[in-house]
Structure 1
Amino acid sequence: MSEAEAVTENSVAGRLGFKDQDLIQEFGYDEDVDFDLRDGLEDLVGSELLTEEDHEVVDGVILWWRADDGDLVDALVDSITTLDDGGVVWVLTPKSGRDGYVPPADIEEAAPTAGLHVTTSPAVSDDWAATRLVARRKK
Structure 2
Amino acid sequence: MSATADHAEERTNPAERLGFQPGQVVQELGYDEDAEQELREGIEAITGQSLVDEDHDDVADAVVLWFRDDDGDLTDALVDATTLIDPGAPVWLLTPKTGREGYVEPSEIGEAAQTAGLAQTSTISAGKDWSGSRLVTPKSRR
TM over 0.5, shorter chain: yes
Match of 1:61 among 35, 60, 63: 63
Q: Which residue of 1 is the match for residue 106 of structure 2?
A: 104
Shift of 1:9: 3.9
- How many residue pairs get aligned? The number is 133
Q: Which residue of 2 is the match for residue 3 of structure 1?
A: none
Shift of 1:136: 3.2
TM-score normalized by structure 1?
A: 0.90
CA distance in 2, matches of 1:86, 1:117: 10
Superimposed CA distance per residue, residues 37-78 of structure 1 (whole angstroms, 9 cap, x where no aligned partner): 000000000010010111111110000000000001110010
RMSD of Structure 2 on Structure 1 (CA): 1.5
Q: Which residue of 1 is the match for residue 127 of structure 2?
A: 125
CA distance in 2, matches of 1:124, 1:42: 15
Q: Is the 8 A contact 1:117 1:135 kept in 2?
A: yes
Question: Which ranges in structure 2 are unaligned for 5 or more consecutive residues?
Answer: 1-7
**Equivalences for residues 1-139 of structure 1 within 5 A:** 7=9, 8-10=11-13, 12-136=14-138
CA distance in 1, matches of 2:17, 2:77: 23
Question: Which ranges in structure 1 are unaligned for 5 or more consecutive residues?
Answer: 1-5
CA distance in 1, matches of 2:111, 2:87: 22
CA distance in 2, matches of 1:124, 1:29: 15
Q: Is the 8 A contact 2:87 2:138 kept in 1?
A: no
CA distance in 1, matches of 2:60, 2:93: 16
Shift of 1:84: 1.6
Give runs of ≥4 in structure 1 deviating > 4 Å: none
TM-score normalized by structure 2?
A: 0.88
